[in-house]
């Protein structure tokens, strides 16, 4: 069974500082990886995804993530954060089955990023 571990439940940073949110996964098969963001009182929205190909993927709002198969990690980074990046971030994994109509996305417990002025 697949699982996701987000190593930090809370990450406080100052505005314009770099940030890394850590995510490790476990799965016995190939995986697809996602990062979602949840702003207060809203649903989750997709930041970026890794399906195949280049291990460095770029997403919205200046975020990027690197897939490392040997370390089973998919850490999220941003070189300079803004106050508006304050939100909860979720790493998620689905097992690659080459398509099909039934699968479930497994989420980590989330990392609350707080950007302070």
Partner 1 sequence: DSGVTQTPKHLITATGQRVTLRCSPRSGDLSVYWYQQSLDQGLQFLIQYYNGEERAKGNILERFSAQQFPDLHSELNLSSLELGDSALYFCASSVASSNSPLHFGNGTRLTVT
Positions in the binding site for partner 1 (CB under 8 A)? 32, 34, 36, 41-46, 49, 51, 90, 94-110
Q: Strands 10-14 and 111-116: what pairing?
A: parallel
Cα distance between residue 50 and residue 69, in whole Å: 12
Of 43 and 117, nearer to partner 1 (C-beta) is 43
CB 19, min distance to partner 1, A: 21
CB of 26 to partner 1, least distance (A): 17
Q: Which is nearer to partner 1, 14 or 39 (CB)?
A: 39
The position carrying tokens 């707080």 is: 114
CB of 93 to partner 1, least distance (A): 10
Which two three-digit tokens encode residue 101? 């109509």
Q: Closer to partner 1 at the Cβ: 47 or 81?
A: 47
Q: How far is CA 21 from CA 1, 74, 77, 99, in A?
A: 23, 9, 6, 29
């Amino acid at each position: 069974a697949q699982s996701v571990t987000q190593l930090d439940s809370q990450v406080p940073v100052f505005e314009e500082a770099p940030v890394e949110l850590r995510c490790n996964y476990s799965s016995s098969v190939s995986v697809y990886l996602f990062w979602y963001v949840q702003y207060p009182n809203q649903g989750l929205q997709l930041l970026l995804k890794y399906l195949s190909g280049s291990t460095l993927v770029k997403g919205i709002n200046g975020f990027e993530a690197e897939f490392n198969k040997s370390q089973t990690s998919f850490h999220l980074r941003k070189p300079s954060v803004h106050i508006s990046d304050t939100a909860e971030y979720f790493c998620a994994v689905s097992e690659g089955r080459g398509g099909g109509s039934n699968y479930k996305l497994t989420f980590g417990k989330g990392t609350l990023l707080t950007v302070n002025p």
